[in-house]
């Protein structure tokens, strides 16, 4: 097909980058001192620059590099066909063997991630700039809202001073949140302190606690403490499938009015799939259930819906592509279900991707996850997207509404090049806390 009238892509750069992180804890272990991402920077014949971001790792870099010949010289208006060509003809980071199991630090993550999202985003950014429209106006049925509600994503944090790893120290920062976010937080009081500091800086009204770290009872104490301090907050807990069905029921059955919903409480057990188990959990407790683990593509979504295992699907555009996430959002809304988005550590280009996708998702969407509060201050773009009053205001600027700062990108690339390994490995830092620690999908990471 020959489409006339839109600029052509003249250049595409893939830049792997790294940023600093806290020793945040999950079922998978501890976040390493640095996290990685892949950035795509495209230029077109109209002189515009388009941006994309997706997960890090050499395999994803390789996939993105392989797309170049399928993109350069093509018209940006033909972006749907370009993304198709990339899906069919590019190198595929392939094969997922970890359904329903938290294994995001292992090689599984790259199989859930859709590297082409970074291409789609950069092309939509260029097209939006050419047309003078924000990306959300080009997705699905167009813009659905003026601002996006964001939740405060709280994590337990281990004591970085007890391990000999290059975690950064921000305890002398002028900002109260920056001051505490790199420090140990393993008690209900410390989680409440995080919530206050993030509320102060970002105005959050809703919170999520990443669980699967301590015994479930301890984690419920933190949830109760949060609710006591923030009685109007919608609060959610996410152990990434760590609890058995019985345990999940025991822990949460009396938490109505305290927990608004529960995210991936259980995984597969005793020959039953995570969908069957979560459906039993829902029936037994009456809690609403969210997932980013058992509905990460259309086939999984179908089975999740048929088995009535979930109410809220966290359709991260980096897993679904932006247009795929919106298509899921439309279907969920038509079926009386709820759209939301999961996240992993990311830079501000992904924050813009989340915001533009959420802006086009129809219906009563749930507050969106973002890890940005843990990365805030490490922007790759000039004027970053702000979270104020617990919301991101959807930009009226064309495209993603952000402009890349190459000096910052090059610095983040330098950091990346100093790293020995570029793949996420949450078991690495755990060895410094608990020698010979091994991932167990049914055991909180600090319970050994």
Pick 74 or 346: Cβ nearer ligand GKR = 346
375: closest CA among 170, 104, 158?
170
Shortest distance in whole angstroms from residue 211 CB to Mg ion: 10
Using CB under 6 A as the binding rule, whether residue 240 contacts ligand GKR is answered as: yes
The region of 66-74, 189-197, 339-347, 436-444 touching ligand GKR under the rule CB under 6 A is 339-347
End-to-end CA separation in angstroms for the chain: 59
* Partner from ligand GKR, Mg ion, none binding residue 260, C-beta < 5-8 Å depending on class: none
114: closest CA among 92, 130, 85, 134?
92
Shortest distance in whole angstroms from residue 210 CB to ligand GKR: 5
Q: Rule CB under 6 A: choose which of 292, 341, 370, 384 binds ligand GKR.
A: 292
Q: Which residue has the CB atom at the shortest distance from ligand GKR?
A: 26
Pick 332 or 404: Cβ nearer ligand GKR = 332
Shortest distance in whole angstroms from residue 124 CB to Mg ion: 26
Tell me the catalytic residues: 210, 342
State which of positions 175-194 bind ligand GKR (CB under 6 A): none
Find the angle CA(147)-CA(152)-CA(156) to the nearest 5 degrees.
Answer: 160
Q: Report how far Cα 32 is from the mean position of its chain's Cα atoms.
A: 17
Whole-angstrom distance, CA of residue 326 vs CA of residue 315 = 8
Structural contact between residues 240 and 216, judged by C-beta atoms closer than 8 angstroms: no
CA distances from 81 to 9, 52, 86, 91 (A): 14, 17, 9, 17
Contact residues for Mg ion, defined by CB under 5 A:
238, 263, 292
Q: Rule CB under 6 A: choose which of 37, 160, 210, 318 binds ligand GKR.
A: 210
Per-residue string for binding with ligand GKR, 407-436, x by CB under 6 A?
A: ------------------------------
The contacts of residue 87 (CB under 8 Å, 6+ apart) are 116
Strands (E) in 112-266, as ranges, are: 147-149, 152-155, 207-210, 235-238, 261-263
Using CB under 6 A as the binding rule, whether residue 26 contacts ligand GKR is answered as: yes
Whole-angstrom distance, CA of residue 125 vs CA of residue 133 = 9
Pick 121 or 236: Cβ nearer ligand GKR = 236
State which of positions 102-121 bind ligand GKR (CB under 6 A): 104
User: Helices in 29-185 by DSSP H: which ranges?
Assistant: 58-71, 79-89, 109-112, 116-131, 176-180
Whole-angstrom distance, CA of residue 437 vs CA of residue 86 = 39
* Partner from ligand GKR, Mg ion, none binding residue 384, C-beta < 5-8 Å depending on class: none
* Partner from Mg ion, ligand GKR, none binding residue 307, C-beta < 5-8 Å depending on class: none
DSSP 3-state of 333: helix
Pick 61 or 236: Cβ nearer ligand GKR = 236
Shortest distance in whole angstroms from residue 356 CB to Mg ion: 21
* Partner from Mg ion, ligand GKR, none binding residue 26, C-beta < 5-8 Å depending on class: ligand GKR
Pick 31 or 422: Cβ nearer Mg ion = 31
Pick 20 or 67: Cβ nearer ligand GKR = 20
Q: Rule CB under 6 A: choose which of 116, 125, 206, 238 binds ligand GKR.
A: 238
Q: Show binding-site residues for Mg(2+).
A: 238, 269, 292
Whole-angstrom distance, CA of residue 68 vs CA of residue 98 = 30
Shortest distance in whole angstroms from residue 238 CB to Mg ion: 4
* Partner from Mg ion, ligand GKR, none binding residue 424, C-beta < 5-8 Å depending on class: none
Shortest distance in whole angstroms from residue 371 CB to ligand GKR: 6
Pick 78 or 206: Cβ nearer ligand GKR = 206
Whole-angstrom distance, CA of residue 116 vs CA of residue 437 = 34
* Partner from ligand GKR, Mg ion, none binding residue 375, C-beta < 5-8 Å depending on class: none
275: closest CA among 245, 320, 236, 314?
245
Using CB under 6 A as the binding rule, whether residue 296 contacts ligand GKR is answered as: no
Whole-angstrom distance, CA of residue 120 vs CA of residue 401 = 15
Write down how long the chain is: 448
The owner of tokens 């997960």 is 55
Shortest distance in whole angstroms from residue 263 CB to Mg ion: 5
Q: Rule CB under 6 A: choose which of 300, 344, 366, 441 binds ligand GKR.
A: 344
Structural contact between residues 318 and 353, judged by C-beta atoms closer than 8 angstroms: yes
Residue 283 burial (CB < 10 Å; 0-12/13-18/19+)?
exposed
* Partner from ligand GKR, Mg ion, none binding residue 251, C-beta < 5-8 Å depending on class: none
Q: Which residues in this chain contact ligand GKR in the complex, by CB under 6 A? A: 26, 104, 210, 238, 240, 292, 342-345, 369, 371
């Amino acid at each position: 097909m020959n489409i006339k009238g839109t600029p052509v892509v003249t250049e595409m750069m893939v830049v792997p980058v790294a940023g600093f992180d806290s020793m945040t804890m999950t079922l998978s272990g501890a976040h390493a001192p640095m996290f990685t991402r892949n950035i795509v920077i495209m230029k077109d014949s109209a002189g515009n620059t388009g941006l994309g971001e997706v997960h890090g790792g050499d395999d994803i870099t390789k996939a993105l590099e392989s797309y170049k010949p399928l993109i350069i010289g093509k018209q940006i208006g033909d972006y749907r066909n370009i993304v198709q060509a990339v899906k069919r003809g590019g190198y595929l980071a392939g094969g997922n063997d970890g359904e329903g199991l938290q294994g995001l630090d292992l090689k599984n993550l790259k199989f859930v991630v859709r590297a082409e999202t970074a291409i789609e985003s950069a092309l939509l950014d260029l097209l939006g700039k050419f047309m003078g429209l924000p990306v959300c106006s080009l997705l699905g049925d167009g813009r659905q809202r003026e601002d996006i509600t964001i939740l405060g994503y709280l994590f337990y944090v281990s004591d970085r001073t007890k391990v000999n790893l290059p975690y950064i120290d921000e305890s002398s920062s002028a900002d109260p949140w920056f001051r505490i976010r790199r420090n140990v937080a393993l008690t209900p009081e410390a989680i409440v302190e995080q919530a206050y500091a993030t509320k102060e800086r970002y105005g959050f009204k809703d919170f999520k606690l990443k669980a699967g770290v301590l015994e479930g009872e301890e984690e419920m104490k933190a949830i109760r403490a949060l609710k006591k301090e923030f009685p109007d907050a919608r609060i959610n807990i996410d152990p990434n499938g760590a609890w058995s069905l019985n345990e999940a029921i025991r822990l949460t059955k009396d938490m109505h009015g305290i927990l608004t919903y529960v995210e991936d409480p259980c995984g597969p057990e005793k020959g039953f799939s995570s969908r069957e188990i979560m459906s039993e959990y829902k029936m037994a407790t009456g809690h609403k259930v969210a997932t980013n683990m058992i509905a990460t593509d259309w086939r999984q979504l179908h089975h999740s819906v048929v088995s009535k295992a979930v109410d809220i699907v966290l359709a991260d555009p980096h897993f679904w592509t932006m247009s795929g996430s919106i298509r899921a959002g439309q279907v969920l809304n038509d079926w009386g279900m709820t759209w939301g988005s999961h996240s992993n550590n990311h830079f501000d280009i992904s924050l813009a991707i989340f915001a533009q996708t959420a802006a086009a998702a129809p219906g009563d969407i749930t507050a969106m996850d973002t890890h940005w509060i843990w990365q805030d201050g490490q922007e790759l773009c000039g004027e970053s997207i702000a979270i104020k009053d617990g919301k991101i205001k959807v930009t009226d600027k064309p495209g993603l509404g952000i402009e890349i700062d190459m000096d910052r990108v090059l610095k983040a690339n330098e950091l990346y090049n100093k790293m020995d390994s570029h793949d996420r490995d949450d078991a690495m830092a755990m060895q410094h806390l608990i020698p010979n620690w091994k991932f167990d999908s049914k055991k909180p990471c600090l319970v050994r």
